[in-house]
Amino acid sequence: MSMHQPSGLAATGCRPDRTLSICCAIAVLASLCLAPASAELEPVQQVIHDKIWQHRYVQPLKIGAASVASTIVLPDFYERRAFRPAWEKRSCIDDLLRAIRDSEADGLDPRDYHLAALEQLRRELETTSPPNPSLRADLDILLTDALVRLGYHLMFGKVDPERLDPAWNMSREIFGFDPAGLIQGALDADAVYQAIGNERPQHPLYMGLRATLAQYRVIKAAGGWPQVPDGPTLKLGMHDARVLMLRRRLVASGDLTPGASPSLQSFDHGLAEAVKAFQRRHGLSADGSVGPSTLANLNVSVEARIQQLRVNLERGRWVLHHLGNRYIVVNVAGYHAHYFKDGQMLWQGRAQVGKPYRQTPSFKADMTYIVFNPTWTVPPTILTQDYLPGLRRDPGYAQRKGLKVVDRSGRVVDPGQVDWSRYSANHSPYLLRQDAGPRNALGRVKFIFPNDHAIFLHDTPNQTLFDKHERAFSSGCIRVEHAMDLAYLLLNDEGGWNRNAVDRVVGLGKTRNVFLHEPIPVFLLYWTAWVDADGHVNFRHDLYDRDKLVQKGLESAFRFRKRPIIGVLPYKYPYAPLQGWDVE
């Protein structure tokens, strides 16, 4: 039996013969530890024992062209059952194969779960007489590995968001979770398909995207939708051959009822309403006319929309399992914020988010307090890029912007007495501060959820920007409309802070911090597709160009993540000292 020389031993300067002796000793000890109490193993049991031993202690197992990925759960599962084959019931195998095929409905790839290899092994086993123990063991092990892989992806996603975004901090920790026990329970109950289905998010957003993906694949199978040719803006009352293609396009996506007009080349009121519905679903100005932006969205292929749905289903697997009973969600790509309590949306408002070169990051933090009549201290990045150039040209620039120059002790300084050419944002004894008031950039209220990015939600005196359809105007923080309504709801008579009390404080114009009785989770997320409360799918422009990275990850080969995502606890079983999903 050959073994790889451990790199750690080689690094110590051990001779090759010495290294080989150590490895052989380890192998013998491992074999003794793995041996079940019974003196003899059944043939299939013996093959499984030997393969699991190789997989855990020598090198990862390959069965044909298929690589066995699970190095923790799979060995633990077989060691607990003394290496007896697990997949004795044909119904359990059928259930798993059906679940693997159905994974495509979640935007996943059945090839990640050994589908072709499993079907081939099963055919070979059914046509081999007498039964081949090695084939049976291979099928059994590969079935278990496929189940581990599929369950892992449904629970946590295939793509690691931390590889894509250094700000991401929403990986879940699940203590006391026992994957091997769950697998055994599903097999004993003959409920493999149901058990796998239970691992996917049950959130309405996820299920809505999943249903839409199925619908769009039907559209693709029927030939997709036609492209509307370029040309002048199509408007109400026009008669144009392109109108016929527009009708066909909107019928294909369900925005227009077929046969709604006797004159197929006339742009009538019914067609204008269908265009408005399409525009609303895509975050466009709903004017009922087909100009360049609407035309560009109409001509996005159904294949591209399918990929967008797959990407957002993956995002759902990252976060939509356990959001809690009370939370705020900001959809950065959708320019919207929502407050949920006990499954009901109590508040929503349009949002202004970070510009593409000052992106609002995705992360989770707990809101702990609200500030009424906030002051605003200019952050270093904004000071460097937006204000220092103006101050160097004209010391009166600060006053025109409603800003005061203060030193580190809080003393107000005349900006005309400062040589601004000597300083940068990171090397300056001065700060720019805006007092509370109607001109303050943060408006009447800000919502603080302490984080490493200095991001918060806040009001704004410039409400007209909320009427824009793309609202990437800020330097990273999130401006929300109806901000005072959100404050009333979050406080909700907490400690006497009812609407009247809040209004009195705001009216006084003095800064006041109000701490929440219980922190409220705030999720800053990024959705370019979702299904609204009326059941209509919405698509948005990929503001920060993030979709393609998720799609690339979905198309990549299977791999477990490098960091543990389930908490480890002491384990009573002798062969597996740690509990949790597999990691690299």
Per domain, the residue ranges of the chain are: 7-196, 225-300, 324-544
pLDDT level of residue 572 (50, 70, 90 thresholds): very low
Does residue 21 register a pLDDT over 60? no
**Tens of pLDDT, residues 489-532:** 999 877 789 999 999 999 999 999 999 999 999 999 999 999 99
> pLDDT band at residue 262, thresholds of 50, 70 and 90?
low
Superfamily for domain range 225-300 = PGBD-like superfamily/PGBD (1.10.101.10)
Question: Regarding predicted confidence, which is higher, 186 or 425?
Answer: 186
User: Residue 482 pLDDT > 80, yes or no?
Assistant: yes
Q: Which pLDDT value is given to residue 16?
A: 36
With helix as H, strand as E and coil as C, how does 249-265 read? HHHHCCCCCCCCCCCCC
Contacts with 348 (C-beta within 8 Å, 6 or more apart), sequence order = 336, 337, 338, 339
Higher pLDDT, 12 or 377: 377
First to last CA, the chain: 25
The per-residue pLDDT for range 324-362, each reduced to its tens digit, is: 999 999 999 999 999 999 999 999 999 999 999 999 999
Look up tokens 């066909």; give the residue.
248
Number of continuous H segments (helices) and E segments (strands) in the chain = 21, 17
Instruction: Give pLDDT, residue 429.
Output: 81
Tell me how crowded residue 98 is: count the other CB atoms within 10 A of its CB: 13
pLDDT value of position 3: 34
Of 21-30, 69-78, 554-563, where does mean pLDDT reach its minimum? 21-30
Secondary element (H or E) of residue 154: helix 133-156
Q: Which residues of 422-452 are buried (b: 16+ CB within 10 A; e: fewer)?
A: ebebeebebbbbbebeeebbbbbbbbbbebe
How would DSSP label each residue in 493-522? TBTTB-HHHHHHHHHHT--EEEEEEEEEEE
Which one has a higher pLDDT value, 29 or 368?
A: 368
Yes or no: say if 203 and 316 are a contact pair by the CB < 8 Å rule: yes
The C-alpha atoms of residue 98 and residue 103 are separated, in whole angstroms, by 9
**Cα→Cα distances 54→4, 17, 60, 146, Å:** 12, 21, 7, 19
Q: Can the peptide bond before residue 232 be classed as cis, meaning omega within 30 degrees of 0? A: no
Longest dimension (CA), the chain: 96
CA 517 to CA 504: how far, in whole Å? 21
Residue 33, pLDDT > 50, answer: no
Instruction: Give, in order, the Cα–Cα distances in Å from 500 to each of 52, 99, 497.
Output: 69, 56, 8
What pLDDT does residue 425 have? 61
Cα(276)–Cα(515) distance, rounded to whole angstroms? Answer: 43
Q: Mean pLDDT over all residues of the chain?
A: 87
Q: What pLDDT sits at residue 551? A: 97
Q: Model confidence over 138-192: pLDDT tens digits?
A: 999 999 999 999 999 999 999 999 999 989 999 877 667 899 999 999 999 999 9
Q: By the 8 A CB rule, do 72 and 582 touch?
A: yes
φ, ψ for residue 455, nearest 5 deg: -100, 140
What angle do helix axes 73-80 and 179-188 make, rounded to 10 degrees?
Answer: 50
pTM given for the model: 0.87
Asked if the domains at 225-300 and 324-544 fall in one CATH topology, the answer is no
Higher pLDDT, 385 or 18: 385
403 pLDDT tier (thresholds 50, 70, 90): confident
Spatial distance between the Cα atoms of 103 and 316, rounded to a whole number of angstroms = 15
Provide φ and ψ at 93, rounded to 5°.
-65, -45
Whether the pLDDT of residue 562 is over 90: the answer is no
- The DSSP code for 566 is S
Distance CA 73, CA 188 (A): 17
User: CATH: 3.40.190.10, 2.40.440.10, 3.40.950.10, 2.40.320.10. Which one for 324-544?
Assistant: 2.40.440.10
